[in-house]
């Protein structure tokens, strides 16, 4: 098996250029691009390779609006042409489902960015209401509901980051 490595400087530049996008064009995402986003999520690492997740792709406009009502901060998600709810299966991995679904989310966000598709982590939401809307089991955890869409308007400027001296410590 041949492992193809990417240029590390280019990868770091790519990661630094990623932005959270909250404004989307009224245009459906290509099926092959959605497949790549889902595949990036599917290949995320997980504790003991348990893969304690489910992805719910939401394209129906009325359902998107219904789901958006569960988000207290991310009301802009109702403008997205597609949402992906990332669901943690607590029974499969009771200790690690939150971390594992977070890794899925970042993989999907990076793949979307590589395709010119914007998204934004939605953390503030009524998870119980979202769980009911999505008709999930009591043991399912709504990690996030990611909005996806082609970027509308200007890409935001980078936000400030703490210096390495503030966050790195060597022992």
What is the reported pTM?
0.94
Whether the pLDDT of residue 9 is over 70: the answer is yes
In tens, the pLDDT along 63-110 reads: 999 999 877 766 789 999 999 999 999 999 999 999 999 999 999 999
Cβ-contact 103, 163 below 8 angstroms:
no
* Whether residue 5 has pLDDT greater than 80: yes
Q: In what order do the strands lie in the sheet with 117-119?
A: 53-58, 82-89, 140-150, 117-119
Task: State the average pLDDT for the chain.
Answer: 94
| CB-based contacts of 161-167 (< 8 A; 24+ apart in sequence) | none
Answer whether residue 18 shows pLDDT above 70.
Answer: yes
Residue 150 reports pLDDT greater than 90? yes
Would you say residue 169 has pLDDT above 80?
yes
> How far does CA 62 lie from the centroid of its chain?
21
The per-residue pLDDT for 73 is 65
Residue 25 confidence (pLDDT): 96
For residues 4 and 160, the model is more confident at: 160
pLDDT at 109: 98
Burial letters 118-155, b for 16+ CB under 10 A, else e: bbbbbeebebeebbebbebeeebbbbbbbbbbbbeeee
Domains, the chain, in order of start with CATH, read 21-151 (3.40.109.10)
The yes-or-no verdict on residue 166 having pLDDT over 80 is yes
pLDDT more than 70, % of the chain: 99
Q: Note the pLDDT tens digit of each residue in 29-45.
A: 999 999 999 999 999 99
Residue 122 to residue 141: CA distance in whole angstroms: 14
Inter-axis angle of helices 97-114 and 31-42, nearest 10:
150
Burial class (CB within 10 angstroms; exposed 0-12, middle 13-18, buried 19+) of 47: middle
For residue 58, the cross-strand partners are: 83
């Amino acid at each position: 098996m041949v492992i193809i490595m990417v240029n590390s400087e280019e990868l770091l530049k790519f990661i630094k250029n990623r932005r959270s996008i909250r404004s989307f064009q009224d245009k459906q995402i290509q099926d092959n691009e959605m497949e790549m986003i889902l595949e990036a999520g599917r290949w995320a690492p997980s504790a003991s390779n348990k893969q304690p997740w489910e992805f719910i792709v939401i394209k129906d406009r009325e359902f998107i609006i219904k789901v958006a009502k569960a988000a207290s901060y991310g009301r802009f998600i109702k403008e997205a042409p597609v949402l992906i709810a990332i669901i943690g299966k607590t029974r499969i991995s009771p200790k690690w489902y939150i971390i594992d679904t977070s890794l899925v989310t970042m993989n999907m966000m990076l793949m979307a960015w590589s395709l010119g598709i914007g998204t934004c982590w939605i953390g503030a939401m009524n998870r119980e209401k979202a769980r009911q809307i999505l008709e999930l089991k009591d043991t399912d955890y709504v990690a996030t509901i990611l909005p996806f869409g082609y970027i509308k308007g200007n890409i935001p400027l980078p936000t400030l980051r703490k210096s390495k001296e503030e966050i790195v410590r060597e022992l």
